[in-house]
Structure 1
Amino acid sequence: MPAAPDYPVPALEKGLDILEALAAASVPQSLSELATHMKRSSSELFRMLACLEQRGYVAREGVSGKFSLTLKLYALAHIHSTRDKLLQAARPPLEALTEQIRQSCHLSVLERGHLLVIAQQDSPERVRLSIEVGGEFDAAHTASGRLLLSHLSEQERAPWIRTLPKAGKKQFEKKLKEIRNAGFSSAESETVEGVRDIAVLVGNPSAGVMAALAVTRLVRRGEPVSDQVLLRAMLTASTKISESLGLSP
């Protein structure tokens, strides 16, 4: 992604620094504490805090007079659903990816105990594979599902693990660890013979936003694109989607 032009806006940057400092703090902060943390003078921050308080972004405690964030930023962030934002951010990178690799790709999330396909971008080739949007699959038996499960906490993935045969649970956990360490998931398709599934992560699990970008690859005779080239192109697309969401991959 090209670097954004550098047009300094000191007042705006100061206000954003205050919001980020309050978000990072575990307890309300006084004016002097903020000034020390941000390495600025109290007089620099006073008017900015007054403006943020007037606009409803910060609130002051009645007794101590210390500042903390309100829920206004949260409310603004949730005017549109996370999924809507994900789909909007994903559309251009998915279109560019299919043009580059000449394969269809799709985006999936974990929902209600299944892997749910939320977006599909068709290959420009005449012969192609498509995955139906809205289709639900067993997460444990798909490359995308295993990738997403590998980034859940042990407690979060427990419901999926409980459905597996007792003898296979330890091996499955080992597989998830390998996937997480590798940074991608790949396997022969368990539903269609002759195709290979490759999936990479979109978003950031620590931010609570993640999806799997997957290609169900049809291998054509004489095709020059190797798995390594395909994977690099997919990782580039996933990074662009994540950055469009304001997330560090």
Structure 2
Amino acid sequence: MRARPAEAGTMAAEERRAKYSVPAVEKALDVLEYLAELAVPATQAQLARALGRQPGEIFRLLTCLELRGYLRRDPASGAYALTLKLFELSRTHSPYQRLVEAARPWMRRLAETVRETCHLSVLHQDQVLVLAQEESPRPLRLSVEVGSRHSPLRTASGRIMLAHLPERERTALLDRLPEWREQDAAARDGFIDRLAALRERGHERAEGERFAGILDLGVPVGGPMASIKAALIIATLRQGDGPDLDAMLPTLQATARAIATEAGLRGSPS
């Protein structure tokens, strides 16, 4: 029986990882990732037990990470915790930093003009990552946590960015998603048709996708050739006959163009 493309890709990745594995590096990454997930300090014995290692096996590793500034050891409890060094490194070379810096003043102006909350998202590790948000000046407003991750299939942001990916890249991404592989052929075909229609009209609208009464209006930031795929969304509440999304769309599109130009994203939408 032949392996499906997604399964074959997973098998190839596992074989490559086994072939080029560096045990010392693997151990160091295991420690850093475990402490990041745990979010509280852990002793040498606790780390060894959690990672299936002998305490003496990771002693030198912990000492090295501490000396290099990645870990801090509490002198009283002996527990290790992550420092801010990884965060500082990520900010120094983040491909999204320039985008956020370029977007903030334009997003602030957008929120003040339409009096609604807006947020900027990118595709990161096959998920929608919220990079920035500007809240509505209204006393009652929506808010999305910056740094939160969401499904690319079930969000307006995700569909906008999927719709503007090259076909081969989009197919590969979808095949990696368990929720995509669980859908039947009819559902997949319908979703692809929806993306094609979205790409044609240049924007996406959604109502009640996360919670009843919530409206999302979004557009891409940058064109198909942009190195970073991003989406700008206005999120609001349905109240009576409003809000008027048609009236907001031109301002949203103009803001997306301004952000793309400021950030230097190639192929800005017209």
TM tier, smaller? 0.5 to 0.7
Partner of 1:184: 203
Q: Deviations over 1:50-69 (max 9, x none)?
A: xxxxxxxxxxxxxxxxxxxx
Q: Deviations over 1:44-95 (max 9, x none)?
A: xxxxxxxxxxxxxxxxxxxxxxxxxxxxxxxxxxx85431110010011100
Partner of 2:193: 174
Match of 1:155 among 147, 150, 168: 168
**Which amino acid is 2:192 matched to?**
E
2:166–2:224 Cα contact (<8 Å) kept? no
| Whole-Å separation in 2 of the counterparts to 1:186 and 1:206 | 23
Alignment of 1:109-124 (within 5 A): 109-124=122-137
**Which amino acid is 1:102 matched to?**
R
Answering whether residue 206 of structure 2 is matched by residue 209 of structure 1, we say: no
Question: TM-score normalized by structure 1?
Answer: 0.64
Q: Secondary structure at the match of 1:90?
A: helix
Partner of 1:107: 120
The number of residue pairs the alignment matches comes to 170
Answering whether residue 254 of structure 2 is matched by residue 236 of structure 1, we say: yes
Question: TM-score normalized by structure 2?
Answer: 0.59
Match of 1:226 among 244, 251, 254: 244
| Whole-Å separation in 1 of the counterparts to 2:229 and 2:216 | 18
Answering whether residue 212 of structure 2 is matched by residue 193 of structure 1, we say: yes
| Whole-Å separation in 2 of the counterparts to 1:161 and 1:82 | 23
Q: Secondary structure at the match of 2:232?
A: strand
89-98 or 186-195, larger mean C-alpha shift: 186-195
Structure 2's unaligned 5+ residue stretches are: 1-91
2:102–2:259 Cα contact (<8 Å) kept? yes
Q: Report the RMSD for the aligned CA atoms in angstroms.
A: 1.7
1:97–1:234 Cα contact (<8 Å) kept? yes
Alpha-carbon shift at residue 243 of structure 1 (Å): 1.3
Alpha-carbon shift at residue 209 of structure 1 (Å): 2.3
Q: Secondary structure at the match of 1:145?
A: helix
Alpha-carbon shift at residue 128 of structure 1 (Å): 0.3
Alignment of 1:1-249 (within 5 A): 81-162=94-175, 163=178, 164=180, 165-167=183-185, 168-221=187-240, 223=242, 226-247=244-265, 248-249=267-268
In structure 2, relative to structure 1, the CA distance for the partners of 1:189 and 1:156 (3 Å cut) is farther
| Whole-Å separation in 1 of the counterparts to 2:126 and 2:225 | 20
In structure 2, relative to structure 1, the CA distance for the partners of 1:243 and 1:107 (3 Å cut) is same
| Whole-Å separation in 2 of the counterparts to 1:84 and 1:203 | 16
1:103–1:218 Cα contact (<8 Å) kept? no
Alpha-carbon shift at residue 147 of structure 1 (Å): 0.5
| Whole-Å separation in 1 of the counterparts to 2:241 and 2:161 | 32
| Whole-Å separation in 2 of the counterparts to 1:246 and 1:160 | 25
Q: Secondary structure at the match of 1:192?
A: coil
2:122–2:228 Cα contact (<8 Å) kept? no
Q: Secondary structure at the match of 2:211?
A: coil
Alpha-carbon shift at residue 141 of structure 1 (Å): 0.5
| Whole-Å separation in 1 of the counterparts to 2:137 and 2:226 | 34
Alpha-carbon shift at residue 160 of structure 1 (Å): 4.3
Q: Deviations over 1:70-125 (max 9, x none)?
A: xxxxxxxxx85431110010011100000011110000011112111010111111
Q: Secondary structure at the match of 2:264?
A: coil
Q: Secondary structure at the match of 1:206?
A: coil
